[in-house]
Structure 1
Amino acid sequence: MVVRRAYKFRIYPNKSQEILIAKTIGCSRFVFNYFLGKWNDAYKETGKGFTYNTCSSELTKLKNELIWLKEVDSISLQSSLKNLTDAFTRFFKKQTKAPRFKSKKNKVQSYTTKHTNGNIAIVGNKIKLPKLGLVTFAKSREVTGRIINATIRRNPSGKYFVSILVETEIEELPKSSSSVGIDVGLKDFAVLSDGTVYKNPKFFRSLEKKLVKAQRSLSRRKKISFNWHKQRKKVAQIHEKITNARNDYLHKVSTHIVKNHDIIGIEDLAVSNIIKNRKSAKSISEVGWRSFRTMLEYKARWYGKQIVFVSRFFPSSQLCSNCGYQNKAEKDRKMRKWDCPQCGIHHDRDINASINLKNEAIRLLTVGTAGLA
């Protein structure tokens, strides 16, 4: 199966390369905002926006007026226009909100450049990038496949990264003839119907005191001063450490589940609605359910497995997985274990819910109404 896959590496640009990256990010942002403003004005006056070709020809004229736009990679400026037109396309299809102006205060700053005529290539322990030339990078693994584009990012911590998007062939994993249900939670991150329990490491809570101390120190610094910038990077590094630890854990769990099971049933949670509960918002944000679901989806698609989304209104924790009796008293989330009044079997709330999710996923596949990934 041919798929698009991204490889992310840390890069170590020298001073002149750092300056050029900053210029390219700024120019890409300027082009996006400039044409977004013109697009909005045209739409108000005529009821019609621009096309990519119109913007592209206008950009050529603009570069003759603003000479500093010629200092940076021209493809990155064209990519900004493409991103703008794609954003408007999604907006008119009612998939997203209207595009907004980009700010230089955004936490992550980046630009994208396309691969043409070998302008992006891996050369030993360095990566060749347009205008930047050869940049040292941490080559943690080999890049396989046809390179499509590269995105250069500067994190708030001051670190630089490159994400290389490639088109590559991935072989489907051998079938395991195994089905599983997944019940995600806060006490334990995930409980499978086969009894496997993945603990909730609580990465944010483990570094919360250190983060609070660093943020308090930042608030006492004079804004925009040297010491303020120095402390701001320390705060960003803690946030980055939390994010990296969480993503690493989610990747390991999702990969293990996809490799060992052919059919995976999981509840179709509306995380954006659940997170509105102030009492549990921090815990839900910390655990990363949405990222976990995304990882399961694309990995299942890569390796020929099936993800079945069970309705969020399905009473997975209330039903007895043995006889089907619905215990409505089980709505109380503090009740972790219960005995079925009908068949007498003893249930662990999470394992019982995951078994019901597995059974419901198989039923949906059988009747042909499953919501597949």
Structure 2
Amino acid sequence: MLEAVRVALDPTPRQERLLESHAGAARFAYNAGLAHVKDMLERGDKPEWSYYGLRRWWNQAKNTLAVDETTGEPWWPENSKEAYNSGLESLADALKNFSKSRKGRRKGRRMGFPRFKSKDKAVPGFAYTTGSFGLIDCDPHALRLPRIGRVHCMEDVSRRVDGAKVLRMSVSKRGGRWQASLTVERADLSIPSPPKGGSVGIDLGVKELAALSDGTVIHNPHALKSNLRRLKKAQRNLSRKRKGSNRRRKARAQVARLYARVANLRVYVQWF
């Protein structure tokens, strides 16, 4: 079975600049590929917007697209090729969802045509699917990221992975913190035998965490309520800031951090 393991990264200032560069490379490839597809559609041509078709186009055009205007030298080799591939993969998925939604073969809400990603609004991120990425032998508190190096983690990664095979590593920045999500493949868990003895019914709620059929009530942790109040105040503060100002940028960062904190607390509540 496949399982996701998410860990928080602790990069150095130099590594953080490299992470930003890789995320920018993925966004650049996404926008360049989308511009290519829209240009072909406007000319009446049928574009090849599958993942492999976009990769073939990128390999042919990257030396003319990703070029330094001052020196005239291509700058794409500064980042791992996996960063560009992840941006093209995201574009291919978005185009496939749009096509299926238009033909009525996709469940859920109707998907529109993909839009360009902006540096201000898009979540910075990229992924590794090939190469020497993942765990480091004899170093349980670190991950290997090609072109970036050994990046320290906030917890023991090897214990979380527990010998499973790492298939993919997605790196993103949410709430002001970089994190890595590892897709691992492990053997199916055995079906546990039902416990012996009595049983009790559990009713999960919103006001209270859970109510048991024997009358026991488990209260929600107070940290969630207090952070929801802080988030409400921060959102109100953000709405008063002028667009484009530095104070609005700082207020947005504060709201993002509180959103991440509330999301983590909700996961904690659901787990327990």
TM-score above 0.5: yes
The counterpart of 1:175, out of the listed 193, 200, 224, is: 193
> Does residue 29 of the first structure (1) align with residue 31 of the second (2)?
no
1:206 Cα deviation from its structure 2 partner: 2.9
1:58 Cα deviation from its structure 2 partner: 1.6
Identify the residue that residue 287 of structure 1 maps to in structure 2. Answer: none
Alignment check: 8 A CA contact 1:40 1:49 kept: no
TM-score (norm 2): 0.75
> Does residue 133 of the first structure (1) align with residue 142 of the second (2)?
no
1:207 Cα deviation from its structure 2 partner: 2.8
- State the alpha-carbon separation in 2 of the partners of residues 119 and 208 from structure 1: 37
> Does residue 108 of the first structure (1) align with residue 106 of the second (2)?
no
Alignment check: 8 A CA contact 1:183 1:191 kept: yes
The counterpart of 2:166, out of the listed 142, 147, 169, is: 147
SS of residue matched to 1:166:
strand
Identify the residue that residue 274 of structure 1 maps to in structure 2. Answer: none
1:93 Cα deviation from its structure 2 partner: 3.0
> Does residue 214 of the first structure (1) align with residue 228 of the second (2)?
no
Identify the residue that residue 352 of structure 1 maps to in structure 2. Answer: none
- In the alignment, structure 1 segments of 5+ residues that lack a partner are 253-373
> Does residue 80 of the first structure (1) align with residue 78 of the second (2)?
no
- State the alpha-carbon separation in 2 of the partners of residues 163 and 110 from structure 1: 11
- State the alpha-carbon separation in 2 of the partners of residues 52 and 220 from structure 1: 42
- State the alpha-carbon separation in 2 of the partners of residues 172 and 196 from structure 1: 31
- State the alpha-carbon separation in 2 of the partners of residues 181 and 102 from structure 1: 47
Distance 1:192 1:92, change over 3 A: farther
Larger mean Cα displacement after TM superposition, 93-102 or 104-113 = 93-102
Residue-pair matches, total: 248
1:213 Cα deviation from its structure 2 partner: 3.7
1:181 Cα deviation from its structure 2 partner: 7.7
- State the alpha-carbon separation in 1 of the partners of residues 168 and 47 from structure 2: 31
For 1:244-281, what per-residue CA distance to the aligned partner results, in whole angstroms no more than 9, with x for missing partners?
100111123xxxxxxxxxxxxxxxxxxxxxxxxxxxxx
For 1:124-144, what per-residue CA distance to the aligned partner results, in whole angstroms no more than 9, with x for missing partners?
122110110111111245123
> Does residue 160 of the first structure (1) align with residue 208 of the second (2)?
no
1:9 Cα deviation from its structure 2 partner: 1.1
Distance 1:38 1:185, change over 3 A: same
- State the alpha-carbon separation in 2 of the partners of residues 21 and 93 from structure 1: 33
Alignment check: 8 A CA contact 1:120 1:130 kept: no
- State the alpha-carbon separation in 2 of the partners of residues 147 and 69 from structure 1: 26
1:1-373 alignment runs, 5 A limit:
3-43=1-41, 45-46=44-45, 49-65=48-64, 66=66, 67-94=74-101, 95=106, 97-98=111-112, 99-106=114-121, 108-116=123-131, 118-123=132-137, 124=139, 125-141=141-157, 142=159, 143=161, 144-155=163-174, 157-176=175-194, 185-189=205-209, 199=219, 205-218=225-238, 228-252=248-272
Distance 1:88 1:231, change over 3 A: closer
Q: RMSD in angstroms over aligned alpha carbons?
A: 3.2
- State the alpha-carbon separation in 1 of the partners of residues 210 and 41 from structure 2: 48
TM-score (norm 1): 0.57
User: In the alignment, residue 33 of structure 2 is paired with which amino acid?
Assistant: F
Q: Which has the higher contact order (CA 8 A, sep 6+)?
A: 2
- State the alpha-carbon separation in 1 of the partners of residues 46 and 218 from structure 2: 53
- State the alpha-carbon separation in 1 of the partners of residues 244 and 148 from structure 2: 29
- State the alpha-carbon separation in 2 of the partners of residues 93 and 202 from structure 1: 44
User: In the alignment, residue 51 of structure 1 is paired with which amino acid?
Assistant: S
- State the alpha-carbon separation in 1 of the partners of residues 115 and 247 from structure 2: 32
1:109 Cα deviation from its structure 2 partner: 1.8
Larger mean Cα displacement after TM superposition, 215-224 or 59-68 = 215-224
Alignment check: 8 A CA contact 2:123 2:173 kept: yes
1:177 Cα deviation from its structure 2 partner: 7.4
SS of residue matched to 2:121:
coil
Alignment check: 8 A CA contact 1:43 1:49 kept: no
Distance 1:33 1:119, change over 3 A: same
- State the alpha-carbon separation in 1 of the partners of residues 78 and 50 from structure 2: 25
Alignment check: 8 A CA contact 2:144 2:150 kept: yes
- State the alpha-carbon separation in 2 of the partners of residues 190 and 43 from structure 1: 54
1:195 Cα deviation from its structure 2 partner: 6.8
Identify the residue that residue 69 of structure 2 maps to in structure 1. Answer: none
